[in-house]
Every structure is written in C-alpha cells, then in structure tokens.
Amino acid sequence: MSGVTWTAAQTAVVLSPVIAIFGAALVALLTYALNRRVARRDRRALAFGEALSVIEDYAEMPYRIRRRSGTLDGRQQLTEEVSRIYSRLAFHQALLDIEAPAVAAAYRLLANEAKAEVGEQMKVAWQKPVRTTDPEMNLEEHYTRVRVDVARDHCVAVMRAALGQGRFPVRPPAVTSSAGSAGRRSARPAASPSAQPPVIPIARPAAEPSKRSSLKPSAQPPAQGRPRDPGAGSDGAGPAQ
C-alpha cells in the first residue's frame, strides 16, 4: 500500500471552514456584547432623564400653585399632583439604587435639596391670594432655585460619568441655603472677613483701702499744764500767807 502525502493545500482546505466558523462565532459574540452594552447605556440614559424630569416637575409646582383657580377641584388636582411627584421620586430613587448606586447617592442629594427649597416655596405660594385675571397670570417675581441647580449640576456630572462620558466628581458640592422666594433675603447681615470682635471692657474691682488709711486716728490725750505747787495760791502769785 503506497503512502499518502498531506500537502499544504489540503491543510488549507480543511482549516478554512474551521477558521470561518470560529471567526463568525467571535464576530457574533462581540456584536452581541456591544449591542447589549449600547442597550444598557440607552436604558440607563433614559432612566436618568426621567429621574431628572421629576425634579423639574417638582420645581414648577410653586408657579402652578400661584396660578391656581381657587376652586376646590383645582386645589385637589394640585395636591394630587404633588402626591404623584413624591411617588415618582421614590420610584426613581429605588430604580437608581438598583441600577447605579453612585448616581443614586447624587440623586438623593438632589431630591433632598429640592424638597428643602421648593417645599418652602410651595408653602409661601399657597398663602398668596388667588389670581383671577389673565394679566395677573404673569408673575412679577421668580422663585430662586440655587440649591436645586447646584445639586442638579452635580447629579448630571455623576450621570455622565456613569455613562462613560466623563469622570466622577471628587466630592458633592457645598450647597448653601437660599431664600424661599425671590426677593426674600436673610435678615442677618453677612459677617465681614475683616471685622474684629467687639472689645468688651472688663470691670475691675475697686482697690481695697489701705489698712493704715482705714484706721481712725488715735485720740491724743489733752495737753496738761505744769504741775501746780500745792503751797501756791489760787491765783498763782505766791504762797498763801
């Protein structure tokens, strides 16, 4: 029986289908992984956007309260809307706790700042008189949202980092308290950095008088004359005869 020789051409014919199969499987696996990553990124971006929209809806409530109709149905609709917003805040907070814990911490800070700032503004808005005419719907003053904006910028930066579009912030921003509505300022003036604390004079106790000066002068004995001679007269002229 003659020997069979294996040529390079035959090896290439056998390996070509195998390489093609492995190549196709690898491409399919990479495509699936990339598509899954993109889908997860899109899903997280959508969740982040919806979570931020709830904050914006909550920040608009003082304006809606100022433009309320004044009827019982209008008040019930506004109160129900506030309840729905609180429910949505809790839902998105729980979703972010599961999906992105780092973003959840920043969103919790944003929600707390919104409740502190916007909640006070809503309380003030409910105490304002009802607007009944069309020109009155144009509000002359706007509500400040300094705390909400600072916390929102921090939350957006964390969300971008979670989506791979930046770095995570080192620390949360220092949020300063602001007034509940525009024009409200703190009655306490800000301290000047160069102001010195007032000097309070210390009352010193009066010095105790000296013992010598406090003592009364001793009574001196009356001046006594020269002792009289018993033999002299009463007038002192000489001895009595």
DSSP, residue by residue, 94-150: HHHHHH-HHHHHHHHHHHHHHHHHHHHHHHHHHTSPPP-SSGGGS-SS----HHHHH
Element (H, E) at 79: helix 72-99
Give me the pLDDT at residue 94, please: 95
CA–CA distance, 39 with 44 (Å, rounded to integer): 9
Per-residue pLDDT of 155-185, as tens digits, reads: 999 999 999 888 888 776 666 554 444 433 3
Element (H, E) at 81: helix 72-99
106-135 as b/e: b if 16+ CB within 10 A: bbbbbbebbebbbebbbebbeeeeebeeee
* pTM as predicted: 0.61
Per-residue pLDDT of 52-106, as tens digits, reads: 999 999 999 999 998 888 888 888 999 999 999 999 999 999 999 998 998 999 9
Element (H, E) at 48: helix 8-59
- Give the residue from 176, 169, 105 showing the smallest Cα distance to 145: 176
Coil, strand or helix at 203? coil
pLDDT average, residue stretch 19-34: 84
pLDDT average, residue stretch 5-21: 76
pLDDT average, residue stretch 200-225: 47
Q: Which range among 126-130, 166-170, 235-239 shows the weakest confidence by mean pLDDT?
A: 235-239
Question: Who has greater pLDDT, 33 or 196?
Answer: 33
Give me the pLDDT at residue 38, please: 80
Q: What is the dihedral of CA 167, 172, 176, 178, to 10 degrees?
A: 70
Coil, strand or helix at 77? helix
Residue keyed to tokens 């196709």: 24
